[in-house]
Structure 1
Amino acid sequence: MKKKNLFTAITAGTLALTISFTGLTNGQQNTASAESQTTSNNEVHKSTAITMVASSKATKISGKYKTTAALNMRTSAKTTSKVLLTAKKGAVVKASYKKKVNGTTWYKVSYNGKTGWMSSAYLKKYKKVSKVSNSATGSDIINAGRKYLGVPYVWGGTSPSGFDCSGFTQYAYKQAGQGSIPRNSRAQRAAAAYTSNPQVGDLIFFSANPGGDYITHVGLYAGNGQVLHAAGNKVQYQSIANGSYWGPRIISYGTFR
């Protein structure tokens, strides 16, 4: 073979090999790219699945719950979220949803004009007090209570041998045939409906100091600017008029009518 023809053959062979290897490299790159994309898509799908498993869906519920301690209402179901308000122990909240996050059950609740999330660890199902009968009048309650005028005040007392304030109101309601009301003053406040127009036999709630908002005492509204209650050292009538000791300490009135 002549030199010129030999050189031409070698050049053509080299070019063919180059084209062949170049095509193979491109194919490998395309395959790697496809595998990379598939892997990426799989990772996205896995990530999405993990997220869906970790995020519990809220379940719709209905009911009232009472706080067993002072409890924060938060913007979302986690302890690091913003606090909307702090409900006092014994507050009754209305629940609409629940969900579990990282092993903790949360309730979406409404309270005091706001809606947020509270931990179920400090909530218990609220049992409504048996409905007070309307067969008797407020006067019947006062008449039942005044039978015990002069009975000594006894801390924790719930009988005619001695009454404390809420023990007296509870006993008077029961004796008047009005049904059962809770034992202590704050529980009575939570169970009764608010009223700005008290009637004879309704409850009056007081603070320890003028203008206070923490309930420490309860009595029966007796009409004519008076309260019938276990206070001081005995069951007695006292004034709630302006300028009296008790008047400035009134927080609110409650009724079971």
Structure 2
Amino acid sequence: MHHSSSGRVRATFAGTGRTATSLSLALGLGLGAGQLVATPAASAAPVLQAATSSTVKTTLLDSVNTTTLGWGSKVRVTAKLRDAKTGKAVGAGYIRLQAWRNGAWHTWQVKKVPASGTVRFYTMPLISGYLRTFTYGTSKYTRAYGKTLHVKVVPSGREVLAEARRHTGALYKYGASGPKRFDCSGFTKYVYKKAAGRKLPHKANSQQRYGKAVSKSKKRIGDLIVFRSGSHGYHAAVYAGGGYMYDSPHSGARVGKHKIFSKSYVVRRLTPA
């Protein structure tokens, strides 16, 4: 049966009014986790045959391995394409992982559906928000949308460490707490507020009273380290892993990654992840 070009249907993203990329373009993009790519315009859109009575209806079942994750961690999204009537796996077409950002759905990754009908995506959202999976279908199978999945991103040690690194090279100044110059406790005060929303006093001795006490052997990146003389805290830093820390050491020095210089310190955890 002959179909004219006017009898064909262009597939569009729901709510965006933008047409999808062609299959070759979508695969050629090589999208990495966390990249936002808005759907390109109409000239590259694939053309699908109008659905007929012989088209098989499909369902897309999606899920995440966790609904809450620490900043800098990846979430696994599993999508299963099934025959809506029989429940059997459908191994055809491509599935897209999309994220809701700035009022529209954006495609982050595209994967071909294997014979098992199951596709897994790994992505690193840096803010809380919504994800979903979507398939345009084929000439034989209908398009389908997975359910909307909400993922909450909470502050983590990685986020604290990333913020600490941003200030590498800032010159020490007594009594300063950023954003351009810091003393030791002013540095940790600024970093934890910016990265984790935690308010700390501007004194190393007082900062040791905040957060959860953690043994030295259990410390992890992003934890607060307070060096002590007896029980008095005199210097504060952010643990960077491997026996190193980020701190603003002393007059004339700059913020940077330095070796932990003493065994006399306590560890405090100020982030949930």
TM-score (norm 2): 0.40
- Structure number, greater radius of gyration: 1
Question: Relative contact order, CA 8 A, sep 6+: which one is greater?
Answer: 2
